[in-house]
């Protein structure tokens, strides 16, 4: 089992590699914002990231965080996720995965479903248009929320 810190280091390495290969300048602010995205497993909003990163970089503005996250998205380093509250959240996990959404606490967790990924979509979809991403969202109450009710 790998340590969480190793995982972060690995993701930061690949972040730097992608930046270099795509000609995106690696600045301290960008590095810190990306690190916060990685360390927040809850598919954070821009405001969430701003509040976290502000603890390390007290002079950073919300506007800078917005712009930086927009740049990350443009360069394919993260992906937008819209699930609840119409809030735009961001996902640094670019591998094929799906989402479990707790309708009570709003936590979004990743899960993997290789069987689904291999399934062919129904024929009617080809008449509708082209598929970019097959993605499953499961809504429910997470176990820590359901425990609170007891
Ligand atoms: Zn919950
Ligand atoms: Zn995800």
pTM for this entry: 0.80
CA of 28 to the centre of ligand 1 (A): 34
Q: Hey, what CATH topology would domain 98-148 get?
A: Dna Ligase; domain 1 (3.30.1490)
Report the Cα 114 to chain-centroid distance in Å. Answer: 19
* Domain residue ranges of the chain, discontinuous segments joined by +: 4-91, 98-148
Q: Any idea which ligand is nearest the CA of 148?
A: 1
pLDDT tens-place values along the chain, 150 residues long: 567 788 889 999 999 999 999 999 999 999 999 999 999 888 999 999 999 999 999 999 999 999 999 999 999 999 998 776 677 899 999 899 999 999 888 889 999 999 999 998 888 888 888 888 888 999 999 999 998 765
CATH C-level class of 4-91 = mainly alpha
Q: Please name every residue paired with 3 in a beta bridge, in sequence order, or none if there are none.
A: none
Q: Identify the pLDDT of residue 47.
A: 94
CB within 8 Å of 91: residues ≥ 6 apart: 43, 78, 79, 80, 81, 110
How much is the pLDDT for 75?
Answer: 93
Backbone angles phi, psi at 143, to 5 degrees: -65, -35
The rounded Å distance from CA 81 to ligand 2 centre is 8
pLDDT of residue 88: 87
Nearest ligand, CA 89: 2
- Res 138: pLDDT: 93
Q: Say how many C-beta atoms besides its own lie within 10 A of residue 16's C-beta.
A: 14
What ligand is nearest to the CA atom of residue 149? 1
**What is the C-alpha to C-alpha distance for residues 11 and 49, in angstroms, rounded to an integer?**
17
């Amino acid at each position: 089992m790998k340590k969480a810190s190793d995982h972060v280091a690995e993701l930061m390495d690949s972040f730097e590699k992608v930046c270099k290969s795509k000609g995106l300048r690696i600045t301290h602010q960008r590095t810190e914002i990306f690190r916060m995205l990685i360390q927040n497993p809850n598919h954070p909003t821009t405001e969430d990231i701003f509040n976290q990163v502000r603890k390390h970089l007290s002079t950073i503005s919300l506007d800078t965080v917005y712009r930086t996250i927009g740049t990350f998205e443009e360069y394919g380093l993260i992906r937008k996720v819209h699930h609840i509250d119409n809030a735009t959240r961001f996902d640094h996990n670019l591998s094929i995965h799906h989402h479990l959404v707790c309708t009570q606490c709003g936590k979004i967790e990743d899960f993997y479903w290789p069987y689904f990924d291999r399934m062919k979509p129904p024929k009617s979809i080809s008449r509708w248009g082209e598929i970019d991403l097959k993605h499953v969202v499961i809504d429910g109450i997470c176990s820590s929320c359901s425990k609170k009710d007891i």
